[in-house]
Chain A
Amino acid sequence: KQEVTQIPAALSVPEGENLVLNCSFTDSAIYNLQWFRQDPGKGLTSLLLIQSSQREQTSGRLNASLDKSSGRSTLYIAASQPGDSATYLCAVHNTDKLIFGTGTRLQVFP
């Protein structure tokens, strides 16, 4: 059974810091891995999708890596801003569904 874990559960940093959020999964047989952002009480916004054959994807200040053999992905946020404050969820795509971690709640203070 696929399980997805995210560490840390919460993170509070000053503006301008570079951050690394971690995601691990137990079964390497995945189609892809997707990182999402969720603001309180809102839906999910897709940030990056890494296909199983890829090693990383970049979008602006965000960079996500994937190491299937070790069951790990990291989301790197450069030069964090208060507007980055949200919960970040990773999810692995396993056949017909996404399996989510419980998220990392990020707060960036000025």
Chain B
Amino acid sequence: DAGVTQSPTHLIKTRGQHVTLRCSPISGHKSVSWYQQVLGQGPQFIFQYYEKEERGRGNFPDRFSARQFPNYSSELNVNALLLGDSALYLCASSLGTVVVNNEKLFFGSGTQLSVL
């Protein structure tokens, strides 16, 4: 079975541009979360979606948005890119929500975004 897949693997953008990152969860998983990892730091929570609804949002500006599709895949959108948005963006999936199922999150390999 395929794990969590993310695309693209690497991306280079310039300041002010817009970017869309994509994630396909493990088959059967209905929850998708997005995390940002700046070099040398632990990942920070951006969004969680479950059954196509936003269930949680981290402390990120409104330039960050996301959505989940009927097939449970997800997109993360970032507008008006800043140099500080350069990071590894990680997607994670789980069967349900931790509150209900107390289960593991499974992470993809990430998208490395560089903003010049």
Contacts and interface: CB of A to CB of B under 8 A. Distances in A.
Interface residues of B, number: 30
Interface stretch (B11-19, B68-76, B104-112): B104-112
Interface stretch (A11-19, A36-44, A62-70, A76-84): A36-44
A97 B56 contact: yes
Interface residues of A, number: 26
- The secondary structure that dominates the A interface is strand
Given A34-B104, A49-B104, A97 B109 contact: no
Interface string A24-62: 000000011010100001111110010110000000000
26 contacts: A4-B42, A31-B98, A31-B99, A34-B105, A42-B110, A43-B6, A43-B108, A43-B109, A44-B90, A44-B92, A45-B107, A49-B104, A89-B42, A91-B42, A95-B98, A95-B99, A96-B48, A96-B55, A96-B97, A96-B98, A96-B99, A97-B33, A97-B56, A98-B105, A100-B42, A100-B44
Interface of B: 4, 6, 33, 35, 40-45, 48, 55-56, 58, 88, 90, 92, 97-99, 102-110, 112
